[in-house]
Amino acid sequence: MSTTRNVAILVGSLRKESLNRKLAKALIAIAPPPLQMEIVEIGQLPLFNQDWEADPPQAVRDFKARIAAADAVLFVTPEYNRSVPGVLKNAIDVGSRPYGKSAWSGKPGAVISVSPGAIGGFGANHHLRQSLVFLDVPALPQPEAYIGHASKLFDEQGALKDDSTREFLLKLLQTYAQWIERNRAR
């Protein structure tokens, strides 16, 4: 695999000190070739309104163009009330319309949920997968990634403290790279 594969990372938290954003940055730092990953911001998006779906605001057009240009999409999300944070669901909805013009269709996906709690955002992870089925985003089934106790993972600079977590994430990205190759030409 010599060609670069551009992966858009969607982070489901807008918090400055977000653990999910720290994890996304750690992924960017360890991404193996051919993966080239970058965070596509979602906090600037307006709340979806079907009234403007045929003539959307510029922020929506720009966001859809970024997703359309990516080879793959990776979601790194907290769990809010056992489900997907509204800000991430909004971005998914914004990118999905108008019907038949979704930016997500066919992009190989992966889901990582991150929480300071013990369950590692399992509920959000699987609720998100439900939407991805409808959006025709084939989501990497294994390894599953429910990253719990996440407030202990990072040092003061936001770097991963723990070798076993780094190794797990690297293995996940290597498997995801193969998944992208298998699914991108569907």
Cα 30 to Cα 11: distance, rounded to the nearest angstrom? 17
Binding ligand FNR (rule: CB under 6 A), the pick from 10, 63, 72, 79 is 79
Of 60 and 91, the one with the shorter C-beta distance to ligand FNR is 91
Note whether 56 binds ligand FNR by CB under 6 A: no
Query: Which residues neighbour 72 within 8 Å (Cβ) at sequence distance 6 or greater?
Result: 5, 6, 7, 8, 107, 108, 109, 110, 176, 180, 184
Note whether 106 binds ligand FNR by CB under 6 A: no
Note whether 15 binds ligand FNR by CB under 6 A: yes
Integer angstrom CA distances of residue 25 from 3, 21, 28, 51:
22, 6, 5, 35
Question: Of 76-84, 103-111, 133-141, 156-164, which segment contacts ligand FNR by CB under 6 A?
Answer: 76-84
Of 146 and 179, the one with the shorter C-beta distance to ligand FNR is 146
Of 80 and 176, the one with the shorter C-beta distance to ligand FNR is 80
